[in-house]
Amino acid sequence: MRLSPAGQRFYQEVQKADGRINLAAAALYIAQEEYWDMDPSRYLEALDDMASAVRSRLPARRYPLKVIQAINDYLFTDLKFTGNIKDYYSADNSHLNCVIDRRIGIPISLSLVYLEIAHRLRFPMVGVGMPGHFLVRPVIEEMEVFVDPFHQGEVLFLADCKQKFHQLFPHSQWKSEFLSGVMPKPFLARMLMNLKAIYIQQEADAEAVSVLDKLLILMPEAAGQMRDRGLLHHRMQNYELARHDLKGYLRSHPNAPDGDRIQLLLESFNSF
C-alpha cells in the first residue's frame, strides 16, 4: 500500500501508544488528503489559543461543572460553534480544519474540538461513542455527567442519554457500554467511517480508497474494509490492487457469504 504524504504522517502518528496519539494532529492529517496545502500547525495553535482564552476565565477553584460552563460559554456563545443540521453529510464536517474555520460540524468533530480544549486545560475528558450520536464526559469517577457539543454543550445525565438513544432507536435495547469512553484509535476509525460513507454515497472512489487506507492502518484485520477497498479499486480499473485486496479478503474469510461473488469477480480479471 503506497501512502500519500498525509497518509504517511497519519501512519506515523497512530503507531504511537493509544494514550500518546495526538488526536487533533491525526485528524488534520486525514483532512490533508483533500486540503493538501493546509498547515496542521496553524490549527493546533488555534486550539492552543482557544484553550488559553478559556483558561483566562476559569475560577480559582476548578469545579468540574464550572470548567464545562466556561468551555461552553466560549465555544458556543463567544465563537458560536454549532452543529451543521442543514448540511450534515458534507465531508467538510469531518475535516478538522474546516470545523475550526467555519465553526460548524457534526457530533464527533465538535466533540474533538471540545476534547482538545479540555486536554489543554488539564481537565481530563473522553469521547463517548453512543450509537447514532457522540458526546464527551469528564473522567471523574463520581460524576456521571455528559456534554453534547452538537447541541451547544448541553449537559446531560444518564436518563437523558437513554432518552436520546430511544428517540434514535425506539426498538433497540439500551446497554450501559454505550457510554464507555472511546480511545484515540477507535475515535479516528469512527471519523473515517463517516467519511467513507459520505464518499461512497458521492461515488468519490479515490477519496474513499484514501479513507480505507487509513482505516486499514488502524484495523489491519478488518477484512470487510479490505473487500470494500478491493471493490473500489476494481471500479477504478486498478485491477492489480483490486486482486490483492479481494484475494486477501477470501483468505481471511474462506466461508464469507459473498465469497462466490468475489471469486467470480477475481476470475473475470483474467480478461484484463
Average pLDDT over residues 29-46: 97
Collect contacts of 12-17 with beta carbons under 8 A, ≥24 apart: 14/184, 14/185, 14/188, 14/217, 14/218
What the block records as the C-alpha cell of 67 is 470548567
φ and ψ of 39, to 5 deg: -95, 105
pLDDT score for 143:
82
- Given the C-alpha cell 473487500, which residue does it identify? 227
How confident is the model at residue 271, as a pLDDT?
60
Q: Strand ranges (DSSP E) for 71-207?
A: 82-83, 104-105, 125-128, 135-138, 146-148, 154-156, 181-182
**Burial of 27 (C-beta count, 10 Å sphere; 0-12/13-18/19+):** buried
Lowest-confidence segment of 46-55, 57-66, 74-83 by average pLDDT: 57-66
Place of cell 435495547: 173
pLDDT at 1 over 70: no
Residue 174, phi then psi, degrees to nearest 5: -70, 140
**What span, in angstroms and rounded, lies between the C-alpha atoms of 191 and 177?**
20
pLDDT of residue 60: 84
Average pLDDT over residues 177-192: 96
Output b/e per residue, 97-130; b: 16+ Cβ within 10 A.
Answer: bbbbeebbbbbbbbbbbbbbbbbbbebebbbbbb
pLDDT recorded at residue 79: 98
What would the pLDDT profile of 38-59 be if each residue is shown by its tens digit? 999 999 999 999 999 999 999 8
This prediction has a pTM of: 0.94
Position 269 pLDDT exceeds 90: no
Backbone dihedral angles phi then psi of residue 26, each to the nearest 5 degrees: -60, -40
Mean pLDDT of 54-67: 92
List, in order, residues 6 or more apart from 184 with CB less than 8 Å away: 14, 18, 19, 21, 23, 26
Return d(Cα 248, Cα 226) in angstroms, integer. Answer: 8
In order of 32, 129, 261, the CA distances from 224 in angstroms are 25, 21, 14
With a cut of 80, say whether residue 32 has pLDDT above it.
yes
Q: What percent of the chain has pLDDT over 70?
A: 99
> How high is the pLDDT of residue 91?
97
Residue 41 contacts by C-beta under 8 Å, 6 or more apart in sequence? none
Residues 128-157 pLDDT 10s: 999 999 999 999 877 899 999 999 999 999
% the chain with pLDDT above 90: 91
How large is the C-alpha radius of gyration of the chain? Answer: 20
Q: Mean pLDDT across the stretch 90-117?
A: 98
In the predicted model, is pLDDT for residue 272 greater than 70? Answer: no
Query: How much is the mean pLDDT over the chain?
Result: 95
In order of 150, 152, 156, 179, 223, the CA distances from 167 in angstroms are: 16, 19, 15, 16, 32
Region 99-115: what's the mean pLDDT?
Answer: 98
In angstroms, the CA 20 to CA 258 distance is: 39
Mean pLDDT calculated for residue range 185-202: 97
